Amino acid sequence: MYNHNEKGIKYDLKKRVFLFSLDIIKLTKNLERSYVVETLAKQLIRSGCSIGANIIEAQSAPSKKDFANFYNIALKSANETIYWLELIKRTSEKANDIDDIIEENQQICRIIAKSLITMRGK
Protein backbone atom coordinates (compact mmCIF):
# COMPACT_ATOMS: atom_id res chain seq x y z
CA MET A 1 0.00 0.00 0.00
CA TYR A 2 1.09 3.58 -0.62
CA ASN A 3 3.27 4.99 2.13
CA HIS A 4 3.00 8.76 2.63
CA ASN A 5 6.06 8.68 4.86
CA GLU A 6 8.39 7.36 2.17
CA LYS A 7 11.01 10.04 1.59
CA GLY A 8 10.02 12.49 -1.13
CA ILE A 9 7.11 10.42 -2.49
CA LYS A 10 4.42 12.73 -1.15
CA TYR A 11 5.74 15.57 -3.31
CA ASP A 12 6.82 13.61 -6.41
CA LEU A 13 3.69 13.16 -8.50
CA LYS A 14 5.31 10.78 -11.00
CA LYS A 15 6.41 8.40 -8.24
CA ARG A 16 3.11 8.78 -6.45
CA VAL A 17 0.97 7.86 -9.47
CA PHE A 18 3.32 4.96 -10.25
CA LEU A 19 2.85 3.58 -6.73
CA PHE A 20 -0.87 4.21 -7.06
CA SER A 21 -0.93 2.11 -10.24
CA LEU A 22 0.86 -0.68 -8.39
CA ASP A 23 -1.74 -0.49 -5.62
CA ILE A 24 -4.52 -0.79 -8.21
CA ILE A 25 -2.84 -3.85 -9.72
CA LYS A 26 -2.37 -5.47 -6.30
CA LEU A 27 -5.98 -4.77 -5.38
CA THR A 28 -7.34 -6.36 -8.54
CA LYS A 29 -5.15 -9.45 -8.12
CA ASN A 30 -6.79 -10.12 -4.76
CA LEU A 31 -10.41 -9.74 -5.86
CA GLU A 32 -12.68 -12.73 -6.31
CA ARG A 33 -13.13 -14.14 -9.79
CA SER A 34 -16.62 -13.41 -11.05
CA TYR A 35 -17.76 -11.91 -14.32
CA VAL A 36 -18.91 -8.65 -12.72
CA VAL A 37 -15.85 -8.09 -10.53
CA GLU A 38 -13.40 -9.02 -13.30
CA THR A 39 -15.15 -6.61 -15.69
CA LEU A 40 -14.96 -3.79 -13.15
CA ALA A 41 -11.34 -4.66 -12.35
CA LYS A 42 -10.33 -4.39 -16.02
CA GLN A 43 -11.90 -0.94 -16.22
CA LEU A 44 -10.18 0.06 -12.97
CA ILE A 45 -6.76 -1.04 -14.22
CA ARG A 46 -7.28 0.83 -17.50
CA SER A 47 -8.32 4.12 -15.90
CA GLY A 48 -6.08 3.88 -12.81
CA CYS A 49 -2.90 3.21 -14.78
CA SER A 50 -3.83 5.83 -17.38
CA ILE A 51 -3.35 8.57 -14.77
CA GLY A 52 0.38 7.95 -14.51
CA ALA A 53 0.80 7.29 -18.21
CA ASN A 54 -0.63 10.71 -19.02
CA ILE A 55 1.46 12.46 -16.35
CA ILE A 56 4.58 10.86 -17.86
CA GLU A 57 3.45 11.72 -21.41
CA ALA A 58 3.02 15.35 -20.36
CA GLN A 59 6.73 15.53 -19.49
CA SER A 60 7.64 15.28 -23.17
CA ALA A 61 4.84 17.48 -24.49
CA PRO A 62 6.07 19.91 -27.17
CA SER A 63 4.03 22.85 -25.82
CA LYS A 64 2.38 24.12 -22.66
CA LYS A 65 -0.99 23.52 -24.28
CA ASP A 66 -0.15 19.86 -24.94
CA PHE A 67 1.24 19.53 -21.42
CA ALA A 68 -2.05 20.85 -19.99
CA ASN A 69 -4.04 18.53 -22.27
CA PHE A 70 -2.24 15.48 -20.87
CA TYR A 71 -2.93 16.72 -17.33
CA ASN A 72 -6.60 17.17 -18.27
CA ILE A 73 -6.73 13.58 -19.51
CA ALA A 74 -5.00 12.40 -16.32
CA LEU A 75 -7.61 14.22 -14.23
CA LYS A 76 -10.45 12.66 -16.21
CA SER A 77 -8.89 9.22 -15.71
CA ALA A 78 -8.50 9.89 -11.99
CA ASN A 79 -12.16 10.88 -11.69
CA GLU A 80 -13.20 7.79 -13.63
CA THR A 81 -11.04 5.67 -11.34
CA ILE A 82 -13.00 6.88 -8.32
CA TYR A 83 -16.15 5.58 -10.00
CA TRP A 84 -14.71 2.09 -10.59
CA LEU A 85 -13.24 1.94 -7.07
CA GLU A 86 -16.60 2.78 -5.54
CA LEU A 87 -18.35 0.13 -7.64
CA ILE A 88 -15.80 -2.50 -6.64
CA LYS A 89 -16.11 -1.47 -3.01
CA ARG A 90 -19.84 -2.18 -3.16
CA THR A 91 -19.71 -5.38 -5.21
CA SER A 92 -16.62 -7.24 -4.01
CA GLU A 93 -16.25 -9.00 -0.70
CA LYS A 94 -12.45 -9.00 -1.06
CA ALA A 95 -11.87 -5.29 -1.63
CA ASN A 96 -9.43 -4.92 1.26
CA ASP A 97 -7.73 -1.57 1.88
CA ILE A 98 -9.86 0.01 -0.83
CA ASP A 99 -10.66 3.06 1.33
CA ASP A 100 -6.94 3.91 1.45
CA ILE A 101 -6.74 3.64 -2.33
CA ILE A 102 -9.85 5.80 -2.75
CA GLU A 103 -8.35 8.44 -0.44
CA GLU A 104 -5.06 8.41 -2.36
CA ASN A 105 -6.98 8.74 -5.63
CA GLN A 106 -8.88 11.75 -4.30
CA GLN A 107 -5.60 13.38 -3.23
CA ILE A 108 -4.11 12.75 -6.68
CA CYS A 109 -7.22 14.37 -8.23
CA ARG A 110 -6.71 17.44 -6.06
CA ILE A 111 -3.01 17.68 -6.97
CA ILE A 112 -3.69 17.40 -10.70
CA ALA A 113 -6.57 19.90 -10.52
CA LYS A 114 -4.43 22.38 -8.60
CA SER A 115 -1.63 21.94 -11.15
CA LEU A 116 -4.08 22.73 -13.95
CA ILE A 117 -5.29 25.86 -12.15
CA THR A 118 -1.67 26.95 -11.70
CA MET A 119 -0.93 26.30 -15.40
CA ARG A 120 -3.91 28.38 -16.49
CA GLY A 121 -2.74 31.25 -14.30
CA LYS A 122 0.60 31.49 -16.08
DSSP letter, residue 33: -
User: Does the pLDDT at position 26 exceed 80?
Assistant: yes
Residue 7's pLDDT band (cuts 50, 70, 90): low
Residues 83-106: what's their mean pLDDT? 95
95, 31 Cβ separation under 8 angstroms? yes
**pLDDT interval class at 96 (50, 70, 90):** confident
More confident residue, 65 or 10: 65
Average pLDDT over residues 54-63: 96
Query: Would you place residue 97 in the very low, low, confident or very high pLDDT band (cuts 50, 70, 90)?
Result: confident
Count other Cβ atoms within 10 Å, centred on residue 96: 14
CB atoms closer than 10 angstroms to residue 57: 17
pTM more than 0.75: yes
Q: Which fold has domain 9-121?
A: de novo design (two linked rop proteins) (1.20.1440)
In the chain, pLDDT over 70 holds for what percent of residues?
91
